[in-house]
Structure 1
C-alpha cells in the first residue's frame, strides 16, 4: 500500500461531499480485487461505477438477512458493471471480491442502500 494513502484519505475526507464519503466507507466491502492490490485506476472505476450501482440497487430486490443481502449485492454489481460496460466500454480489471468482515460491519453499523 502506498505511503501517500493516509494523506489521500485525509484530503478526500476534507474535500469530498457526504455522498463521496459514504461511498468510501462502503468501498472496502465491494472493492477487493482477486489476486492484486487496488490501484488508483481501480478506485476511479469504482467511482465511475457508483451511479450504475445506485440505479441497480433501486431495481434489484433482495431478501432479508446476511445471505439474502449478499446475493442482492452480487446481483447489483453484476448489473451495474454490465450496464456501465454497455454504455462506456469500461470493464473491471480483476474479479471483484466481497470483503466479508467489511460487509458485515457495513451491514450491521452503516446499512446498505
Structure 2
C-alpha cells in the first residue's frame, strides 16, 4: 500500500520545470523543503505519527515526472512506558507534476507490512 497526496505549486515553479536550465529544480526544491503536504504524506505512511523531515534532493524531468528524497523522523509516544521514541527514516517519494494545473501528486514508497506473529 502507498500513500498519495496532491500539492499546489506556484506557476513560476511549473514554468521553471519545463526549461532546460541547470537551476530549473531550484524553485521546486524550495517549495518542497517546507511543504505541509509532505508532512501529511509521511504522517499517513506511519499511521498518523508525528513526523518532520529534512529535504535532500530532487530529480524531475521537463515533463514533471521524477522523485525527491527526504530524511525524516517519526516521533512515537508510549503512554504505558511514558517514553518518547524517535525513529530515523529515509524515503524516495515519487512526484508527477501536472504542468497545466500546477498540481503535483506525490506518492510514498510501498508500505512495509509487518510480519505476522509466530504462534
Task: Provide TM-score, normalisation by structure 2.
Answer: 0.29
Query: Whose RCO is larger (CA < 8 A, sep 6+)?
Result: 1
Q: Highest CA radius of gyration, 1 or 2? A: 2
